[in-house]
Amino acid sequence: MSDTQGQNQLSEKVLRKVGQLEQEISRAVIGQRQVIRDTTIALLAGGHVLVEGVPGLGKTLLVRSLAAAVGGVFNRVQFTPDLMPSDISGHIMFDRKTDSFRVRKGPVFCNFLLADEINRAPAKTQSALLEVMQEQQVTIEGQSFSLQLPFLVLATQNPIEQEGTYPLPQAQLDRFLLKVFIDYPDADEELQMVQQITGDAVGDKLDVSAVEEVLQPAEIISLQKYTAQLEVDEQIIAYAVRIARATRDWSGIENGSGPRGSIAMLRAGRANAVLAGRNFVTPDDIKAVAPAVLRHRIKLTADLEIEGYQPDDVLKDILSNVEAPRV
């Protein structure tokens, strides 16, 4: 079998299983199609997601559904002002039964971690999680432990203006591949949601029983490798770099995106191309992912913020003015 035939067959397998993955998540998560798509893009690209939204909009259900569809291990950490780094990574404890010390691994040892309300914890605890996200390993009392792959963090934060929040530093925000917004459902979706949750259900326990397992963690790793090897023309790479560089001297932007912005656009663009059924990246793939990739990597000037502008408003202007290549 030639390499081309193998790639084509792998592409069909990727599309079929990834399409099934999104369908299965949608069985439990009503609406929020863009959030589901962005989470799938991050999974294929091997990146982490920062989700902003008020409590009660289905963030936990989203991650639990993803874990059920992939057959992975799901853990959730509720970030609070008194949460310590060891509460996330783990610690050494004395076992009286064996009369010896042993390592108690923290909740970060999983495939899918929901870091709920990350901006309610102090900076030291935030940094502990973000270091794990970057290195994909944990050091406990001098011992290093590798995390089981795939490893995806879905960190949620409340809107900054809410009481008791600690804004994430820009250097830490840069570790997230995407930032997405989860908003209130529309009227029809909310009606469907209420009917589904209250029908024959006792209490408000999240139900993911309708979600079928369509992928194994090992298959996700293969899909991530396939996505990372997708063909990207040099003109597309240059286009992503131009967009990122434009944010550095654009009127109304105080701090622009660093090189990680360009890299993230290409990683997410590859995943978007896979979901579109192509084995190559187009300028439209870069445009599609640019807002989610860049909105947390730029900081607007105080004047624009006072006037009510959002990063997406400025990014829309940038994408309209930076010339896209014709490939």
| pLDDT of the residue at 161 | 54
- pLDDT above 70 covers a percentage of the chain that reads 88
Mean pLDDT across 171-192: 83
Mean pLDDT across 92-116: 81
Query: Which two structure tokens, joined as six digits, stand for 169?
Result: 């530093």
| pLDDT of the residue at 242 | 97
Cα distances from 219 to residues 20, 21, 113, 207, in angstroms, run 13, 12, 19, 25
Q: What is the residue-wise DSSP string for 86-135? A: HHHHEEEEEETTTTEEEEEE-TTSSSEEEEETGGGS-HHHHHHHHHHHHH
Residue 111 has pLDDT above 80, yes or no: yes
Residues 201-223: b if buried by 16+ CB within 10 A, e if exposed: eeeeeebbeebeebbebebbeeb
| pLDDT of the residue at 271 | 94
Nearest Cα residue to 298 out of 251, 268, 259, 255: 255
pLDDT digits (tens, 9 = 90+) for 116-132: 888 888 878 887 887 78
Work out the pLDDT band at 163, boundaries 50, 70, 90: low
Q: Which of 156-165, 169-178, 234-243, 316-325 shows the lowest mean pLDDT across its residues?
A: 156-165
Count CB-CB contacts under 10 A for residue 23: 14
| pLDDT of the residue at 1 | 42
| pLDDT of the residue at 5 | 46
Q: What is the residue-wise DSSP string for 1-69? A: --HHHHHHHHHHHHHHHHHHHHHHHHHHS-S-HHHHHHHHHHHHHT--EEEE--TTSSHHHHHHHHHHH
| pLDDT of the residue at 145 | 84
| pLDDT of the residue at 200 | 60
Domains and CATH numbers, the chain: 3-216 (3.40.50.300), 230-327 (1.10.8.80)
- Reading phi first (left if > 0) and then psi (alpha if -120 to 50, else beta), residue 52 is in beta
Q: Is 291 helix (H, G, I), strand (E, B) or coil?
A: helix
| pLDDT of the residue at 208 | 75
Mean pLDDT across 315-324: 94
Average pLDDT, the chain: 84
| pLDDT of the residue at 106 | 84
Residue 176 has pLDDT above 80, yes or no: yes
| pLDDT of the residue at 199 | 64
Which phi and psi angles does 2 have, rounded to 5°?
Answer: -75, 165
Mean pLDDT across 78-87: 87
pLDDT digits (tens, 9 = 90+) for 15-73: 677 878 888 888 888 778 888 899 999 999 999 999 887 776 677 788 888 888 888 88
- The DSSP code for 280 is B
Query: Which two structure tokens, joined as six digits, stand for 149?
Result: 């792959």
**SS3 string of 166-222?**
CCCCHHHHCCCCEEEECCCCCHHHHHHHHHHHHCCCCCCCCCCCCCCCCCCHHHHHH
Residue 204 has pLDDT above 70, yes or no: no
